[in-house]
Homo-oligomer: A and B are copies of this chain.
């Protein structure tokens, strides 16, 4: 069975589980509140549908990790819902923090209902993630549930740390490449590592194998983020679905930028003078490339990709689900193809 077949089987089940978890909120006093969550999840409102929902990569990774350890993936569905709800909690708060009024082509929760409500919607997605995790008790021993929850909570602390770093970097002008890794490790990789780790845990894998899955998820996140950073500066609009080079205008502390800031050359001078304007983007991107930032980022992306695939190979994923998770990893790691 290929990734396509697994996806076709798993994605509707993930959606069903997510809907049943979010349903907890729906009571006569809180209908409009429930709607705010179903809107954000992509199920209701103008533009609802798969594009508004996102790709559900995290739950898919978790389920494929469990299945490739030989487990019945259905019993891992509450955990799959938990990681997706957690991811969405972070998106809702992120949009407020970044003042972003669009996500996946639609107005963000705060743009529709205001900041106070959006904070509460994010909080609630977090609560629902916690509750979904505890639902694992229906099909797993309590000790495994506690372990899964602890892994998820730890990744969440890393997430808030990464978020702090990202926000605090906006105030600083002494950043170097060393500031990149812990930020992105927290913001992107920690949760992906938790997904593959929990999948392996629920798949009854040995500790050593669990660790391989965890490392696979972690480096997958790093590689994915670096590629995202490269595309954000040098990508074609048609590939990324957003205006190429917009990361420069937005002042994002991406890998190429932090690499070049550490060089304290012409780019650093330009960057520290204030926001890059849209008409300067081409020249600034070219300057970045001349200073070696693109080449360095490509190297790091290849390095992290190698690590990710290496750990996945070490994990020795079983059967058709094993083939599917390798296929998913390759797909995620070669987005430009």
Contacts and interface: CB of A to CB of B under 8 A. Distances in A.
A127 B156 contact: yes
A165 B160 CA distance: 27
Interface in A232-283: none
Contact of A124 (B25, B120, B160, B182): B160
A124 B168 contact: no
B127 A130 contact: no
Contacts of A206: none
B32 A168 contact: yes
Given A157-B24, A161-B25, A165-B30, A150 B123 contact: no
A134 B156 contact: no
Interface string A120-131: 101110111011
B142 A157 contact: no
A146 to B, nearest CB: 5
Interface residues on A, range: 35 or more
A143 interface: yes
Contacts of A175: none
B29 A167 contact: no
Interface stretch (A10-18, A111-119, A293-301, A316-324): A111-119
Interface string A30-48: 1011000000000000000
A7 to B, nearest CB: 30
A168 B25 CA distance: 15
A93 interface: yes
Contact of A157 (B131, B156, B163, B167): B131
Nearest to A136: B146
Given A116-B97, A120-B163, A128 B141 contact: no
A313 interface: no
Nearest to A130: B153
Given A24-B157, A146-B142, A160-B124, A116 B96 contact: yes
Contacts of A120: 93, 97, 160, 163-164, 167
Contacts of A163: 120, 123
A157 B163 CA distance: 24
Contacts of A30: 161, 164-165
A137 interface: yes
Interface string A147-164: 001100110110111011
A30 B161 CA distance: 7
A163 to B, nearest CB: 5
A29 B97 CA distance: 20
A264 to B, nearest CB: 21
Contacts of A182: 29
Given A115-B115, A119-B96, A145-B142, A33 B164 contact: yes
17 contacts: A29-B165, A33-B161, A96-B119, A97-B119, A98-B116, A117-B167, A123-B163, A127-B157, A127-B159, A127-B160, A130-B149, A131-B150, A131-B153, A137-B146, A141-B142, A142-B143, A149-B149
